[in-house]
């Protein structure tokens, strides 16, 4: 039943006003009703509708994401401005103070020097050796005589790299030095006293080129202990001198034990690591110094006689006098001459120095101050400087002849030669040396 029929009701067929009216309504309804599209058009329409829906959904999703980002920013800003009380308390809490860096002096007090180490020693073995004494901060090896190795061309001339590589692979120069040195840094200062107890401890040397199978290490503080009362100076040492062999020499010569000697120091060159020719031996007791001076002087060590002397303050200059002794002697000599002459010029008279007033053998007059040999030499030198003839200046007297005798230079020289010849002939006639009559 159509829309028009529902409105106008059912009408009978026939010609009349109602039928015409009905026909007009049917025509209008047919105009209003659209034709159904084909299947292809329907599919295209569906695809267009889907694209529009996806674009609208993507635009809506992007818009929603932007809104969420804005909301997150606002919420973070509000959190920063108004943080909860727990967070405020944490921020207000004081931070932990950082530990101050140890000073070089403090680190030196916690450092131990280890000498006469075997060639096979490494940083790990050194740390293991002193691990019982306390916690260790670091260990390092020094004074290692390396044999040399090729390095890359871009690192040519880098001696530090050469030393590191040769030390790690144990490519050492045994002829220059047969031992190495090391340092151990502890955490506490109390560990240093425990480490010093390991002095003279024997260690096995497993290096294939080692000259000794066992070496006694020398443990000391970073600043070496110097006690002249318990030490002796050892000179005339060969270039190949070694701490271990020198210690054995003193132990055998003085009839001591290895523990009686605290340490042996051989002074070496910083570049070649060879001995400079002298060293020091430190004993446990000062009474052992006397026996070492009596028995070890002129003792042969590596085919050379040792020179053993007492340790003490070295004398400055010659014969214990200060280095500027000549200046002092000249000044004293000038003062003495000025005092004897009663002062110089028109200035105020200088104060007279004390002179010896011992009476002479002839009369009671005081003798002039006695001059030493050095003062006489300096005074003679100063006098010769004043009387020295300048360059180009002629000698006093007649040219070509001596002023006193009137002889020529040639005659004076001949006379001197003849006098010398006569003297030599006389000595030859009387005999010379062991054959002298």
**pLDDT at position 48, please?**
64
270 and 197 within one domain: no
pLDDT digit string (tens) for 355-407?
A: 444 444 444 555 555 556 677 777 877 777 666 666 667 666 545 444 456 78
203 and 130 within one domain: yes
As a whole number of angstroms, the distance between CA 251 and CA 314 comes to 27
Tell me what the mean pLDDT of segment 98-122 comes to: 85
Q: What share of the chain is helix, strand, coil (3-state, %, to 5)?
A: 45, 15, 40
Which CA distances in Å does 162 have to 138, 155, 179? 22, 10, 18
215 and 189 within one domain: yes
Q: b/e per residue, 32-60, with b = 16+ CB within 10 A?
A: eeeeeeeeeeeeeeeeeeeeeeeeeeeee
**pLDDT at position 70, please?**
61
241 lies in a domain?
Answer: yes
259 and 184 within one domain: no
**pLDDT at position 14, please?**
47
305 lies in a domain?
Answer: yes
**pLDDT at position 219, please?**
94
260 and 209 within one domain: no
pLDDT digit string (tens) for 182-234?
A: 999 999 999 999 999 999 999 999 888 888 889 999 999 998 888 889 999 99
**Per-residue pLDDT at 113 exceeds 80:** yes
229 and 216 within one domain: no
> Domain boundary residue among 223, 254, 283?
223
213 and 136 within one domain: yes
Task: Give the model's confidence band at 239: pLDDT under 50 very low, under 70 low, under 90 confident, else very high.
Answer: very high
> Domain boundary residue among 205, 223, 241?
223
Tell me what the mean pLDDT of segment 128-135 comes to: 94
Q: Decide which of 95 and 381 is more confident.
A: 381
119 lies in a domain?
Answer: yes
147 in Cβ contact with 166 (< 8 Å): yes
**pLDDT at position 43, please?**
67
250 in Cβ contact with 261 (< 8 Å): yes
213 and 236 within one domain: no
**Per-residue pLDDT at 35 exceeds 70:** no
Residue-number span of the structural domain to which 144 is assigned:
107-223
**pLDDT at position 169, please?**
87
**pLDDT at position 196, please?**
94
**Per-residue pLDDT at 39 exceeds 50:** yes
Q: For residue 276, give the DSSP letter.
A: E
80 lies in a domain?
Answer: no
166 lies in a domain?
Answer: yes
As a whole number of angstroms, the distance between CA 335 and CA 375 comes to 13
Q: Dihedral, CA atoms, 45, 50, 53, 54, nearest 10 degrees?
A: -150
Mean per-residue pLDDT over the chain, rounded: 74
Q: At what angle do helices 325-340 and 373-387 cross, to 10 degrees?
A: 80
Q: What percent of the chain has pLDDT over 70?
A: 56
Q: Decide which of 173 and 93 is more confident.
A: 173
309 and 293 within one domain: yes
Sign of the four-CA dihedral 268, 269, 273, 278 = negative
Placement of tokens 């040219």 in the chain: 399
Q: Decide which of 170 and 54 is more confident.
A: 170
What is the secondary structure of 94-120 as a DSSP string?
PPPPPPPPPPHHHHHHTEEEEEEE-TT
389 lies in a domain?
Answer: no
pLDDT digit string (tens) for 289-319?
A: 999 999 999 999 999 999 999 987 554 444 4
Task: Give the model's confidence band at 69: pLDDT under 50 very low, under 70 low, under 90 confident, else very high.
Answer: low
Tell me what the mean pLDDT of segment 312-339 comes to: 52
215 lies in a domain?
Answer: yes
As a whole number of angstroms, the distance between CA 280 and CA 311 comes to 8
CATH code of residue 154: 3.30.70.330
111 and 172 within one domain: yes
Domain count, the chain: 2
Highest mean pLDDT among 211-215, 251-255, 406-410: 251-255
219 and 112 within one domain: yes
172 and 132 within one domain: yes
> Domain boundary residue among 166, 197, 223?
223
**Per-residue pLDDT at 334 exceeds 90:** no
**pLDDT at position 167, please?**
86
Tell me what the mean pLDDT of segment 24-38 comes to: 52
**pLDDT at position 223, please?**
86
280 lies in a domain?
Answer: yes
């Amino acid at each position: 039943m159509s829309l028009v029929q529902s409105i106008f009701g059912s009408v009978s067929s026939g010609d009349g006003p109602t039928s015409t009216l009905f026909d007009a309504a049917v025509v209008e309804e047919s105009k209003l009703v659209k034709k159904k599209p084909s299947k292809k058009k329907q599919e295209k329409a569906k695809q267009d509708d889907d694209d529009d829906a996806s674009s609208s959904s993507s635009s809506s999703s992007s818009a929603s994401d932007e809104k969420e980002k804005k909301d997150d920013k606002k919420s973070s800003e509000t959190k920063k401005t108004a943080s909860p009380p727990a967070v405020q308390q944490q921020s207000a809490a004081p931070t932990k103070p950082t530990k101050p860096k140890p000073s070089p002096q403090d680190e030196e007090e916690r450092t131990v020097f280890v000498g006469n180490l075997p060639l096979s020693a490494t940083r790990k073995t050194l740390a293991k050796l002193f691990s019982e004494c306390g916690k260790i901060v670091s260990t390092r090896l020094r004074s290692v005589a390396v044999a040399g190795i090729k390095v890359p061309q871009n690192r040519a001339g880098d001696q530090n790299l050469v030393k590191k590589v040769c030390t790690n692979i144990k490519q050492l120069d045994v002829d220059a030095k047969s031992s190495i040195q090391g340092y151990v840094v502890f955490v506490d200062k109390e560990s240093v006293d425990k480490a010093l107890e390991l002095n003279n401890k024997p260690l096995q040397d497993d290096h294939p080129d080692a000259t000794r199978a066992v070496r006694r290490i020398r443990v000391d503080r970073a600043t070496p202990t110097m006690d002249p009362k318990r030490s002796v100076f050892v000179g005339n040492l060969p270039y190949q001198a070694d701490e271990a062999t020198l210690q054995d020499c003193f132990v055998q010569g003085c009839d001591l034990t290895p523990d009686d000697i605290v340490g042996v120091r051989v002074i070496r060159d910083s570049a070649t690591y060879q001995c400079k020719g002298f060293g020091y031996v430190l004993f446990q007791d000062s009474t052992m110094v006397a026996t070492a001076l009596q028995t070890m002087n002129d003792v042969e060590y590596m085919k050379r006689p040792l020179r053993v002397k007492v340790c003490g303050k070295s004398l400055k200059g010659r014969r214990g006098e200060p280095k500027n002794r000549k200046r002092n002697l000249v000044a004293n000599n000038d003062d003495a001459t000025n005092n004897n002459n009663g002062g110089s010029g028109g200035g105020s008279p200088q104060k007279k120095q004390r002179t010896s007033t011992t009476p002479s053998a002839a009369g009671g007059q005081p003798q002039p101050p006695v001059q030493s040999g050095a003062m006489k030499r300096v005074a003679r030198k100063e006098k010769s400087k004043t009387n020295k003839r300048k360059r180009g200046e002629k000698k006093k007297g007649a040219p070509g002849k001596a002023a006193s005798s009137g002889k020529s230079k040639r005659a004076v020289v001949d006379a001197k030669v003849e006098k010398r010849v006569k003297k030599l002939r006389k000595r030859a006639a009387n005999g010379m040396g062991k054959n002298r009559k």
